[in-house]
Amino acid sequence: MDLEKKTGTGRCELMGRKNNELLRTENLTKDFGKLRAVDNLSLSLEKGEIRGLIGPNGSGKTTVVNLITGVYRPTSGGVYFSGRRIDRLSPDNITHEGIMRTFQVARVFADMSVLENMLIPAFTQGTSRREARHRAEELLDFCLLGKLSNEPTRNLSGGQTMLLQIVRGFMRQPLKLYLLDEPFAGVHPAIKDVIINTIQKMNREEGVTFLIVSHELTTIRRLCSRISVLHGGGVISEGTMREVANDPRVIDSYLGG
Amino acid sequence: MVTIDWTLLSQYIISGVVIGLIYSLMAMGITFIYGIMRIINWSMGEFYMIGGYLQYIIITHFLGVENWYLGVLLSMVGVFLLGMVVQGLLIKPMFQGSVERRTEYATIVTISLGVLFTNVAVIGAGPFIYSPPGYYHGTRILTLPVSGTRFVAFIGTIVLLSLFYLFLKKTWWGRAFQGAAQNRMGIQTAGIDVFRLDQIAFGIGVALAAAAGALLAPEFYLHPRCGSIATMKGFEIIVIGGLGSIPGVLCAGLLLGLIESLGAVFLNPSFRDVYGFLFLLAILAIKPTGLFEERERVA
Amino acid sequence: MKEISYTKITGFKWYSLSIAALLLLVALLPFSTGQYYLQVFTVAFYYVILASSWNLLAGYTGQFSLAHHAFAAIGGYTSALLVTNFGLPIWLGILAAPLSSALMGFILGMLCLRMRAIYLAIATWAFAESVRITISMTYEITRGDLGLAVPKIFPGIGQGVAYYYLFLGLAAMTVLVIMFIIRSRMGYYLRAIRNDEMVARVMGINTTRWKILAFMLSSGIAGIAGAFYGHYNGLLTPVMIDFNEMAFIVIMVVIGGIRSIAGPVIGAILIELLTETFREFGEIRMVVFALAVIAIARLYNEGAVGAVRQGAQWISRRKQAREGVN
C-alpha cells in the first residue's frame, strides 16, 4: 500500500528546529463571560507522539481543541505550532498549516457521498482530482469503507460516520497534527479497532502526531504514550497512564469533581 | 426658524404611537412563534388579513358594529384554530425528523402559505376593498382629536397585550412557553409535550396577528394584499426590537410609530412608511440582532 | 421530506435525453407556434436564468436569499437608465448591468456573512424592499409605477423569433455556466458550505470567499437577465421587484427540483407555460402552484427532476431484474 510518501516530519527538520516540539500552548485561557473554561493551560506535544487528553466532564477538553483549531479566540495566552503562533488564524488557515480535527458528534457532509467527503480536504490543497481519488480510495479500502464510497453519508451508521470523519482527515498531506475529539464514543467495537489500527498506522508510516480526547481509558492506555489530565480548565497531571492513574490529584478530580 | 405646531405634532405622534402599538401585536405573534419554534412565519400578514376579513363578516352579517370587540375575539378564535391546523400539517413535521433543512423548509412553506391565502382571498372575496364601519365615534386623548376606531383599537391592544403578559407570567401554560423558549430539550425531559406546545404557540401567534387585523380593519382598507404592509411593519418591529424579546417588541413598536410620525411631520408625509424602513436597515447594518438581543437558547 | 443523494443517476442517458429534448425545442418551436407562445417561451427563458442563478446561491450554497428579483431589477434599471439618460449604446448598458448588480450582491453578501439563516432571509428581504422603495421614490428618474420606457434590442414589431433565440441562447449559457461551476471544485465547496459551514472551514475551505463569490455570481447573472429583459420588453416597472416575483422564483425552483441543474429549467418553463396557458383561471393558478410547492416541500423534496430520476431508476431496475431472470 502506497501511503509511504514524504511527510511533514522531514520538512519540519529542514526548518532547522532542533527540538522536537510540534505544538505548544502557553498560558492559554478562555473565558465565556464569567465562566473560565480554560485556565492558564500549558501543553506541549512532541512530533510523532500520540497524546491522550482525559479529564472529567466539563474540564474544558473540547474547548482546548477548539482553541487550537481556531474555532475560538483565546482570551489570553497563545498557541504555537512549530514555533509559529497560530491562535489568531481562522480555522481554514489552521488547516493549511497541516492541522486537522474531528468533532465529538461526527460531522460529515450529509448530502454528499462518502467519496466526495474524502475529496474535499485534498481539493483545498490543490491536489488533482485523479490523485485525490486515488488516495481516497486507498484510505477507504484500508478502513473497510471502500464499498460505500458512493453512498450518501446519511445512510451510514453512527460508527461508520465517525470512521469516515476520522479517515477524511488523512486526505490532507502532509498531516502534521490530528486532534480527535471523542473518536470512540458510541462506536461499535469492530469499528473502534479499525480506528485504532488507522491511528497507529498513520502515526508509524506518516509520522502524524495525535492528540486524542477520550473517556475510554482502556483504549487510551492502548494507544497513547503520554496522557494529559485536564481539570477545571488546566492540566493537573501528565505522564504515562500508570503515573497518571496513581496521581492523587487525578483520583481526586474524578471522584471529587 | 421653523415654528412647530405642537398640536399637530402631538396629534401625529399619538396617532403614530397608537398604530405602532397595534402593529406590535402582530410582531408579538411573530416573535412568540420564533421563540418556541425558531422559525419565521412569512405569512403572518395573511393571518392578519384573514382576521380582518373574519371581523368584517362577523360585524356586518351577524353581530353588528356595537359588538366589535366580540368580533375581534371570535376572529382570534377562528384564526387560532386555523393556525393549529396549519401547524399540525406543515410545521410539526419539521420537528419529527421528516424534514431535513429546517429554516429553508419553513421559509418555503410559509411564503407559499402566504401566496395561497392571498389568492384564496381574491377568489373568495373578490379583488375588492372592504371597509368595515368604524368602531367608535371620534374622541379625544388629552384634548387631541383621535379617530374613534384607533382609540378603541388602542384600548383593545392594551387589553390584549396585558392579558398576554399575564398569561405568560402567571399561568402554567405561560411558564411552559417561557421554558420552551429557553430550553426546549429541558422542557421535554420535564415531561411536557413540546409538540402540543408548538401547536398552541403557533395558534396564539397567528391569533395575535388576526387581532391586529381585526382591530385595524376599519382604519386601513381591507383587501387581499393588505397583509403585506402588516408583514413589513411586523418585520420592522422585530428587527428593531430583536427577535425573541417580548419587551423589545413593545419598545420597538412604539419607537417605530414615533419615527414614522416624526418623519411625516418634519420631512415628507408621503414617505411615511419609508422612515421606519430606513431605521430597520440601519439596525440591520449596525446591530442585526436588534436593540434588545435575544437570549441564546440553552438547548 | 427525505433528500436522496443527487449525485447518482445513469449519467449519460440522462444528459443525452435532456439535450435531445432541448434541441427539439429549439428547432421546432418558432415554426410551430405563433407570436404569442413565442413570447411565452421567451419570458420562460428569462425565468430560467433567474431560477438557475438563484438556485446556485440558495439551493447549492444554502444562502436562502429573498433578494434575487431585486438584482434583476437593479440590472434592468441600470442598463435602461444609462441608455436613455446618457445615450449609451444598448450593449454597453447591458455590460454595465451586472457590474452594478454584482456590486450590490457583494455588499449584501458581506453584510450577511455571519448571519444565521433566519436573519439572512430577513436581511435579503429588507434589501429587496429597499430597492423597491428606492425605485418608487425616485420616480422622477425611474418613472416609478408609470414604467420606464426602454429602447429595444431589435426594434420594430414582429421580432419574436429573434428575441426567442436570444433568450434561449442566454438561458443555455447560464445553465452551462452553472453546470460547469457545480461540477468544479467550487461546486464542492459551495455544497460543503451548505451542508455544514463549520466543517467546511475546518476542511480548509475559505467560506467567506466562496460565499461572497456565490452572491456575486448569482446577482451578476440576475442583473444581466434583468437588463436583457428591459431591452426586450421595452418597459420596466416596479412589478418586477414586487415580492411576488421572488415567490414566483422560489415556486419555480422548488417545483422543478431544488439543488439540481435541470430543476430550475423545468420549473421555470413549466410554471410559465401553465401560467400563460391557464390565464383565464386567474388566481386559481397561484393557489395550485402554492399547494404544489407545499406538497413537494412537505412530502417529496426533489420536485419534478426527482420524479423523473426516480422514474428512470425504476425503469433501469426493472430492466436489470428482467435481464437477471434471463
pLDDT digits (tens, 9 = 90+) for B208-234: 999 999 998 888 888 898 898 899 999
What is the C-alpha radius of gyration for chain C, rounded to an integer number of angstroms?
A: 20
Contact C199 A107 (CB under 8 A): yes
Q: B56 CB contacts (<8 Å, ≥6 apart)?
A: B130, B132, B217, B222
- Residue C8's pLDDT is what? 45
- Residue B101's pLDDT is what? 73
Q: CB contact, 8 Å: B103 with chain C?
A: yes
- How many CB pairs below 8 A link B and C? 109
Which subunits have 3 or more CB–CB pairs within 8 Å of chain A? C
pLDDT confidence bin for B295, thresholds 50/70/90:
low
Q: CB contact, 8 Å: A108 with chain C?
A: yes
> Would you say residue A5 has pLDDT above 50?
no
Q: A153 CB contacts (<8 Å, ≥6 apart)?
A: A108, A109, A110, A112, A113, A114, A117, A161, A164
- β-strands A226-231, A50-54: how paired? parallel
Preferred mutation among B36, B41, B109, B112 to probe C, highest tally of C CBs within 10 A:
B112
Query: Would you list which residues of chain C are within 8 Å, Cβ to Cβ, of chain B?
Result: 1-3, 58, 62, 64, 66, 111, 115-119, 121-123, 125-126, 129-130, 133, 137, 243-244, 247, 250-251, 254, 282-284, 286-287, 289-291, 293-294, 297-298, 301
Measured CA distances, C53 to A103, A152, C48, C223, C253 (Å): 34, 25, 8, 10, 10
Contact A121 C204 (CB under 8 A): yes
Contact A123 C189 (CB under 8 A): yes
- Residue C2's pLDDT is what? 41
- Residue C50's pLDDT is what? 97
Strand partners, B130: B222
> Would you say residue B284 has pLDDT above 50?
yes
Q: CB contact, 8 Å: A32 with chain C?
A: no
Nearest CA-CA partner of C160 in C255, C40, C18: C40
The b-or-e profile of B193-231 (16+ CB within 10 A means b, else e) is ebeebbbbbbbbbbbbbbbbbbbbbbbeebbbebbbebb
Q: Smallest CA–CA separation between A154 and chain C, in Å?
A: 9
Taking residues A107-136, report their average pLDDT: 92
Q: φ and ψ at A46, to 5 degrees?
A: -95, 155
Contact B103 C111 (CB under 8 A): no
> Would you say residue A71 has pLDDT above 80?
yes
Contact C185 A123 (CB under 8 A): yes
> Would you say residue A6 has pLDDT above 60?
no
Chain C residues touching A112 at Cβ < 8 A = 5, 7, 188, 191-192, 195
> Would you say residue A227 has pLDDT above 60?
yes
Question: How many C-beta atoms lie closer than 10 Å to residue B7's C-beta?
Answer: 11
Measured CA distances, A61 to A81, A248, B267 (Å): 19, 20, 58
- Residue B296's pLDDT is what? 55
Q: Smallest CA–CA separation between C6 and chain A, in Å?
A: 8
Ordered DSSP codes for B181-227: HH-HHHHHHTT--HHHHHHHHHHHHHHHHHHHHHHHTTTS-B-TTHH
Q: Smallest CA–CA separation between C18 and chain B, in Å?
A: 28
Inter-axis angle of helices B6-37 and B44-57, nearest 10: 110
Q: How many CA atoms are closer than 13 Å to the CA of A249, on its beta-carbon side?
A: 13
The predicted-structure confidence for B104-133, as pLDDT tens digits, reads as follows: 999 999 999 999 999 999 998 888 888 877
Entry pTM = 0.89
Q: CB contact, 8 Å: A92 with chain C?
A: yes
Contact B113 C294 (CB under 8 A): yes
Contact C195 A116 (CB under 8 A): no
Measured CA distances, C28 to B217, C22, C50, C316 (Å): 54, 10, 24, 30
Q: How many CA atoms are closer than 13 Å to the CA of B39, on its beta-carbon side?
A: 27
User: HEC string of C154-223?
Assistant: CCCCCCHHHHHHHHHHHHHHHHHHHHHHHHCHHHHHHHHHHHCHHHHHHCCCCHHHHHHHHHHHHHHHHH
Contact C202 A101 (CB under 8 A): yes
- Residue C45's pLDDT is what? 95
Cβ atoms of C46 and C252 closer than 8 Å:
no
Cell of A77: 495566552
Cβ atoms of A179 and A102 closer than 8 Å:
yes
Q: Smallest CA–CA separation between B113 and chain C, in Å?
A: 7
Q: CB contact, 8 Å: B271 with chain C?
A: yes
Contact C188 A172 (CB under 8 A): no
CA dist., res. A107 & res. A36, Å (int): 27
Q: Smallest CA–CA separation between C191 and chain A, in Å?
A: 8
Cell of A162: 465517525
Q: Smallest CA–CA separation between A153 and chain C, in Å?
A: 9
Taking residues A51-55, report their average pLDDT: 92
- Residue in chain A nearest C208 by alpha carbon: A92
CA dist., res. C72 & res. A211, Å (int): 51
The predicted-structure confidence for B79-106, as pLDDT tens digits, reads as follows: 999 999 999 999 888 887 656 678 899 9
Q: Smallest CA–CA separation between B271 and chain C, in Å?
A: 8
- Residue C5's pLDDT is what? 41
Q: C124 CB contacts (<8 Å, ≥6 apart)?
A: C64, C65, C66, C67, C108, C112
- How many CB pairs below 8 A link A and C? 80
Q: Residues in chain C with pLDDT < 50?
A: 1-10
Q: Smallest CA–CA separation between B100 and chain C, in Å?
A: 7
The predicted-structure confidence for B58-85, as pLDDT tens digits, reads as follows: 888 888 777 788 889 999 999 999 999 9
> Would you say residue B206 has pLDDT above 60?
yes
Mean per-residue pLDDT over chain B, rounded:
85
- Residue in chain C nearest B43 by alpha carbon: C247
Q: Smallest CA–CA separation between B233 and chain C, in Å?
A: 11
pLDDT confidence bin for A217, thresholds 50/70/90:
confident
Query: Would you list which residues of chain C are within 8 Å, Cβ to Cβ, of chain A?
Result: 3-8, 185, 188-189, 191-192, 194-196, 198-207, 259
Chain C residues touching A150 at Cβ < 8 A = 7-8
Partner residue facing B108 (CB), from C243, C287, C297: C297
Contact B112 C122 (CB under 8 A): no
Preferred mutation among A112, A117, A162 to probe C, highest tally of C CBs within 10 A:
A112
Contact C247 B122 (CB under 8 A): no
Contact C199 A109 (CB under 8 A): yes
Partner residue facing A112 (CB), from C195, C204, C205: C195
Contact C199 A108 (CB under 8 A): yes
Cell of B233: 411593519
- Residue A18's pLDDT is what? 47
Q: CB contact, 8 Å: A151 with chain C?
A: yes
Strand partners, B141: B144
What is the predicted ipTM?
0.88
- Residue C11's pLDDT is what? 56
Q: CB contact, 8 Å: A100 with chain C?
A: yes
Q: Smallest CA–CA separation between A230 and chain C, in Å?
A: 24
Mean per-residue pLDDT over chain A, rounded:
87
Chain A residues touching C200 at Cβ < 8 A = 109, 120
Q: Measure the CA angle with vertex A144, ends A140 and A148; round to 5°.
A: 70
Taking residues A164-176, report their average pLDDT: 93
Contact C298 B38 (CB under 8 A): no
Cβ atoms of A213 and A180 closer than 8 Å:
yes
